[in-house]
Amino acid sequence: MTRLILSTLAVVALLAAAGCTTTEKRAGTGAVVGAGTGALIAAATGSSGRGVATGALIGGAAGALIGAATTPGMCRYRDAYGRVYEAAC
């Protein structure tokens, strides 16, 4: 039962990420990496469960901000035929 729930959540997350722009994907990846790093650092310093959660929260927020800020300057445009393409802003 647990596998089914986790698999369903993973599929939903993948489908949601498929519609994201490059900036949103980079922010999401940064948030995941930052949260993991924050939690690991907090656990390595001997923090309790609340400290690990706080480290993950702070790391996730910082990672999302850094990921969004480091996105290359690509914009989405639509041509005369309605096709979407990306080019430098």
Please give the Cα distance from 30 to 24 (Å, whole number).
10
| Other beta carbons within 10 Å of 25 | 15
What per-residue confidence (pLDDT) applies to 2? 67
What per-residue confidence (pLDDT) applies to 12? 62
Q: Give the global pTM.
A: 0.58
Q: At what angle do helices 49-69 and 22-44 cross, to 10 degrees?
A: 150
User: What is the residue whose two structure tokens read 């980079």?
Assistant: 26
User: Residue 18 pLDDT > 70, yes or no?
Assistant: no
Task: Considering only residues 44 and 4, tell me which one the structure prediction assigns the higher pLDDT.
Answer: 44
Q: How confident is the model at residue 40 (pLDDT cuts 50, 70, 90)?
A: confident
What per-residue confidence (pLDDT) applies to 84? 87
